[in-house]
Each structure stands twice: as structure tokens, then as C-alpha cells.
Amino acid sequence: MKKLLASLLLLATICSVSHAQSFRKPDKSPMDVAYLPDNFAHDRKPGEEAIAKAYYSRPNKADRVVFGGIVPFGKVWRLGANEAVEFKAFKDLTIGGEALKAGTYSMFAIPGESEWTIILNSDLDYWGAFKYDESKDVIRFTVPSKSSPEIVEAFSIRFEDLGNNTAVMRLGWDQTMVEIPVSY
């Protein structure tokens, strides 16, 4: 009887351990979210509403050449890693000088050495940019890129509210940054 109980206990332990190991390991490029206003989810004030948010993954530089290296110039890039950025406008706004209706969009870029083309597309749930369909672009605009004095190790997106219903959406990685004007 003791052998039977010991065997059943061992079998139950093996089954529970093998079942628990069925989860995937964490992504190397973790997900993050940027809000306008910045820290909206953490520091929301009574009556305050979100204007926009971006879900994105944060790859690390990891001693690699980023732009012109792992992210080639002149090709559509998903902005970050894994899934393309999901951009949500909670209200109609102007981004990069272009009118954008409230809604959810995928966001891409075509990095260049001195300027980037930013793309908002109506197709959602992209992994990478492999199935990117230009015919579903909602808006496209260009913004200058500039050198950042500090190295940004993990790709980052951050909104900064400038007041008077204007903001800037910053995209930064390595020593490159672009600033996208937003008004609402």
C-alpha cells in the first residue's frame, strides 16, 4: 500500500510539473504601453480621459547597429519587435499634420538616415511587417530623425503633453529619435 501511495504521489508530481512547464518563456522584447497623457493609467486624475495610447514591444540594442543594421533604411518596419505597434486614438486628432479619426490602427515606419515615413494602417494584428498591405494605409507623413545625446538601450515610445491641446510622441532607440507632433 505504501508503494502504491508513493507511486501515485510521484505520478501526480510529474504530471503537475510537466503541465506547469507548458507555458512559454517570456519574450525577449517585453510589451509596454505609452499613454497621452503620459502615465495616464498610473496617475489618472478624476474626469481625465485618455487621448491616445500605443502598445508596443521593446527590443534591446544589445551591442548591435540598429538603424542601417538590424533595421534597414528604406524598408517598412513594425516599430519595435514582435507585433506591430497598435495605436489607439480615443478621439479625433491630428498626428504628423494629418487628420486621424478616433479608432485603432497598426503603426509602422520606414526609417531613413535623415527622415522617417510614419504609417498608420487600418489592418490590425500584424506580427512583424511581413503581411503589411500598403493599400490599407490610412495616413502617411514624414518626420525628421535626429541624434539623441544618450543611448536608448530598449526601443521606447513616450508622449509628452505640451499644453494647449498639443503633444509630441517620441520614438527612440540607440542614438536615434523621431518626434511626431500630435494635436487634439
At 19 the pLDDT is 53
Half-sphere exposure of 56 (CA within 13 A, CB side): 25
Report yes or no on 157 lying in a domain.
yes
Q: Is 2 exposed, middle or buried (0-12, 13-18, 19+ CB in 10 A)?
A: exposed
Asked if the structure places residue 33 within a domain, the reply is yes
Residue 126: predicted pLDDT: 83
Return d(Cα 156, Cα 170) in angstroms, integer. 8
Query: Is residue 61 a contact partner of residue 153, using CB atoms and an 8 Å limit?
Result: yes
Do the Cβ atoms of 32 and 81 come closer than 8 Å?
no
Is there a domain that residue 8 lies in? no
Q: Is 76 within the bounds of a domain?
A: yes
- Tens of pLDDT, residue by residue over 91-110, are 999 999 999 999 999 999 99
Residues 75 and 111: their CA atoms lie apart, in Å, by: 7
Cα-based torsion angle of the residue sequence 152, 114, 94, 32 in order, rounded to the nearest 10 degrees = -20
As a whole number, mean pLDDT of residues 25-35 equals 90
User: Which residue type does 7 have?
Assistant: S
pLDDT at residue 5 in the model: 47
Mean pLDDT to the nearest integer, 163-170: 97
Q: What does the pLDDT read at residue 4?
A: 47
Share of the chain above pLDDT 90, in %: 74
Residue 30 pLDDT: 92
* 141 in a structural domain: yes
60 occurs within a structural domain: yes
* Residue 15, in any domain of the structure: no
Asked if residue 148 belongs to a domain, the reply is: yes
pLDDT at residue number 94: 98
- Structural domain range at position 45: 27-183
Inform me whether the pLDDT recorded for 129 exceeds 80. yes
- Average pLDDT over all residues of the chain: 89
**How confident is the model at residue 11, as a pLDDT?**
53
Q: So what's the pLDDT on residue 25?
A: 84
Per the structure, how many domains does the chain have? 1
pLDDT band at 121 (very low <50, low <70, confident <90, very high): very high
Q: What is the pLDDT of residue 23?
A: 86
pLDDT tens-digit series, residues 34-86: 999 987 776 777 777 899 999 999 999 999 999 999 999 999 999 999 999 99
